[in-house]
Amino acid sequence: MSFMDQRAFVDLLQLVVLDRLSVELVKTWQNPPGRLRSEERSRRSGWMKNLSGPERALVEEFGQDAARAAVFGVLCVLDGVRKIEDRENGHIELHHVKNGRSELLASSGNDMTLDFLHDLLP
C-alpha cells in the first residue's frame, strides 16, 4: 500500500478488527488467557464450553454485531456526527502519516471534502 486513504482505512478496520473478531473471541472465551483468570472469565468459559455448535455460532454473531456497532460509533465520533463534548471548543482529526506526508482521513470539524468513514463501513 503506497498511501492510506479513507476507503483503505475502513477496509483495514474491517479486516484487522471485525473479520478476525469472532475467531479471537471464541478462542478467548473457551480458553481465557493468563495464569490468574478471574472468576468471571472462568464462569463464561465454562458456559461457552457447554453450548451446542448452533448456540455458540449465535453468541459469535452477537459478538460480531456488538463489535461492528462499537467501530461504527467510533467512526461517527471521528466524523463529527456523534459529539463527545458538550461545548464547541475543539474537534478531532485522524491523519495517516507516512514518509513525512500526512493524509486527513477524518475530522469532526466541518471539512466538507471528506466522506464520512461510518458510511464506508460495510
Looking at residues 58-62, what average pLDDT do you find?
87
| Mean per-residue pLDDT of the chain | 87
Separation CA 106–CA 16 (nearest Å): 19
Looking at residues 47-66, what average pLDDT do you find?
89
**Phi, psi at 86, each rounded to 5°:** -75, -30
In this predicted structure, the answer to whether residue 120 has a pLDDT above a threshold of 90 is: yes
Separation CA 33–CA 121 (nearest Å): 30
Per the listing, cell 467501530 goes with: 71
SS3 content of the chain, % helix, strand, coil (to 5): 55, 10, 35
In this predicted structure, the answer to whether residue 98 has a pLDDT above a threshold of 60 is: yes
Helices (H), the chain: 6-13, 21-30, 39-49, 53-79, 117-120
